[in-house]
């Protein structure tokens, strides 16, 4: 009987030791898993901090782009004002040329009439010694009128060139403003997640036609104003994008869901 009791005691002691050893192994595994989880949480925090910094930088770039757009619009308005002045100046010169041509034509007609009259008769109320001076004065007036006409024509050409240059500058500015406005509008465009496959770790995104996305674009998932995580583009098929989920960059406790908004991590610059 005592032998049986000893055997039972030995078995109990061995079982207790085995359970203690097994519990210690489980504890060590749980401890290692906890350390790994802490490491991943620190990595997520660092990624979140980096993403916040990128978001601040993106907002700064967007503000800079808006400032440049405002400056371009101001330059365009200034150029339009200069163009109006140039056109007004050109019209003024054209009126002066018309008046000068009229004076020149009258002077020329007068010279012709005097010469015709002298050819018909050399007498009359005009003294012979006065004729050369009168003719010379008329010829000098004609030369002066021709010189003034040439100067006016040069001034008109200069004014027309300035007007043409102003119109070209305005057209160029309008094109640049239109392109910049289109890019700014594209930067503010949002896509939408239509499907999520967590088993394979990818999502399907529907993007608007004005969202400037290419294979190297970085995407951010958000819900309302809250950051959820990052996506890496895998394929682009028209207005549909297949992207991989960056689980390491996910906000702790957040899961990508259909209906979440997708925006560019970095806006397209001009």
Instruction: Delimit the domains of the chain by residue range.
Output: 72-185, 189-264
Residue 241 pairs in a beta bridge with 205, 236
User: Residue 173 contacts by C-beta under 8 Å, 6 or more apart in sequence?
Assistant: 72, 75, 76, 79
pTM assigned to the model? 0.36
Fold of 72-185: Helix Hairpins (1.10.287)
Tokens of 131: 């004729």
Query: Do 72-185 and 189-264 share a fold?
Result: no
Residue 246 pairs in a beta bridge with 230
Only one residue has tokens 């007007």, namely 163
Tens of pLDDT, residue by residue, the chain (270 residues): 656 666 666 656 655 555 555 566 666 777 777 788 778 778 778 877 877 777 777 777 777 877 887 887 887 888 777 778 778 877 887 788 888 778 778 777 776 666 566 555 545 555 545 566 666 776 787 888 888 888 778 887 877 777 677 677 666 656 655 555 444 444 568 899 999 999 999 999 999 988 888 888 889 999 988 899 999 999 999 899 999 999 998 899 889 999 999 998 876 554
Tokens of 19: 């359970």
CA proximity to 179, closest of 56, 61, 68: 68
**DSSP type of residue 268:** P
Fold of 189-264: Thrombin, subunit H (2.40.10)
């Amino acid at each position: 009987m005592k032998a049986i009791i000893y055997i039972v005691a030995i078995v109990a002691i061995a079982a207790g030791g085995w359970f203690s050893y097994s519990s210690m192994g489980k504890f060590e595994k749980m401890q290692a898993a906890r350390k790994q989880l802490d490491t991943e949480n620190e990595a997520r925090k660092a990624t979140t901090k980096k993403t916040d910094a990128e978001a601040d930088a993106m907002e700064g770039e967007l503000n800079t782009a808006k400032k440049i757009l405002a400056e371009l619009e101001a330059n365009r308005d200034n150029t339009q004002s200069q163009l109006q002045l140039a056109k007004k100046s050109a019209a003024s010169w054209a009126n002066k040329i018309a008046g000068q041509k009229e004076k020149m034509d009258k002077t020329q007609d007068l010279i012709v009439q005097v010469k015709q009259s002298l050819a018909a008769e050399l007498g009359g109320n005009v003294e012979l010694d006065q004729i050369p001076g009168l003719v010379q004065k008329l010829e000098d007036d004609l030369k002066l009128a021709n010189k003034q006409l040439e100067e006016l024509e040069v001034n008109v050409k200069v004014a027309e060139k300035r007007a043409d240059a102003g119109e070209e500058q305005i057209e160029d500015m309008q094109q640049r403003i239109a392109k910049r406005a289109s890019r700014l509008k594209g930067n503010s465009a949002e896509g939408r997640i239509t499907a999520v496959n967590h088993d394979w770790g990818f999502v399907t995104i529907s993007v608007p036609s004005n969202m400037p996305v290419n294979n190297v674009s970085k995407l951010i998932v958000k819900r309302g104003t809250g950051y959820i995580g990052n996506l890496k583009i895998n394929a682009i098929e028209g207005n549909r994008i297949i992207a991989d989920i960056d689980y390491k960059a996910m906000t702790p406790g957040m899961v990508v869901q259909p209906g979440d908004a997708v925006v560019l991590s970095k806006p397209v610059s001009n």
